[in-house]
Amino acid sequence: MGEIAEAKAGARGARGAREPLRRDRILRTAVAIADEGGVEAISMRRIARRLGVVPMALYKHVENKDDLLNGMIDVVVGEIDPAIEGADWKTAVRERILSARRTLLRHPWAARVLESRTEPTPAIIAYFDSMMGIFLAGGFSVDLMHHALHVMGSRILGFSQELFDDASSAPDEEAIAMWSEMAERYPNIAALIRELAAGQISHEQATAVGGACDTQVEFEFALDLILDGLERLLASSRDGSDVARPSASKEARTTADPDDASASPAPI
């Protein structure tokens, strides 16, 4: 959003009062490098080389590599579209999250870097605050909004925990054969693979059922299931009969280890 022009202007105007935009240049080339080569391509030395500068020069603008990664995340999160105005909370949340997903798909390394962060960056804080605002404006109590954030988890930032990206969405013959061999050890996985292959052959109806494993469809399916659940809770909280929460949670916590407290991290 105009940051490029800004950075250029800063570098150009060698006579300007000052040119503090060097950090931006570093972050932007770091993002570019990551876009090309993935997470493991991000190294201080490579960024410096790309900038035609000695590695230690970066440290005049960036505290350390962690700070650099935080800055990169801020660049990416800053690309998420702002919330749309005037929509009901559900579509506002939905569209915002889908925008976040689009952004993260443009920067496939970002999800992994995000996971490795240990504290939120300014852009993320702003993003969460605005997301909370959507919920509150939609009639959520602070408590229910808090739960909603936890329920969304990483999906709120546009990605689900997609483990094992090698399980290609369209199983090829080799995969089918392999899993068929293991069918007696892993019968259910084999069944799934069979079904995926069948759906694929029958001409890829993107309607979830029978179709091949389409991550966009799956993402939206999960998102909508969760939004529907929240909508129901919101409605029941307005009836006000009892505090809104899903069924099984009405009992007290069931299985927590008493010694967990220190081990469990807490998100926002």
Partner DNA sequence: TCCTAGGGTGTACGTCGTACACTCGTCAAC
Partner DNA sequence: GTTGACGAGTGTACGACGTACACCCTAGGA
Binding to a copy of itself (CB under 8 A): which residues in 141-200? 141-147, 150-151, 153-155, 157, 160-169, 185-189, 191-192, 195-196
* Alpha-carbon 144 to chain mean position: 21
CA angle 156, 162, 167 (to 5 degrees): 155
> Who's near 250: CB < 8 A, 6+ residues apart?
none
User: Binding segment for a copy of itself among 9-17, 22-30, 59-67, 205-213 (CB under 8 A)?
Assistant: 205-213
Residue 7 or residue 190: which is nearer to a copy of itself going by CB?
A: 190
Buried b (16+ CB within 10 A) or exposed e, 163-189: eeeeeeeebeeeeeeebeeeeeeeeee
Judged by CB under 8 A, which of 8, 60, 117, 238 binds a copy of itself?
117
Which of a copy of itself, DNA, none does residue 181 bind to, with CB < 5 to 8 Å depending on kind? none
Contact in structure between 157 and 109 (CB atoms under 8 Å): no
Binding-site partner at residue 29 among DNA, a copy of itself, none, CB < 5 to 8 Å by type:
none
Question: Please, which residue, 57 or 183, has the CB nearer to DNA?
Answer: 57
Cβ pair 90, 134 in contact under 8 A: no
Instruction: Please choose which of a copy of itself, DNA, none residue 5 contacts, taking the beta carbon within 5 to 8 angstroms, the exact cut-off set by kind.
Output: none
CA distance 202 to 204: 6
Looking only at residues 33 through 92 of this chain, which bind DNA when binding is defined by CB under 7 A? 42-46, 53-57, 59-61, 64-66
Within residues 13-72, the interface with a copy of itself by CB under 8 A covers none
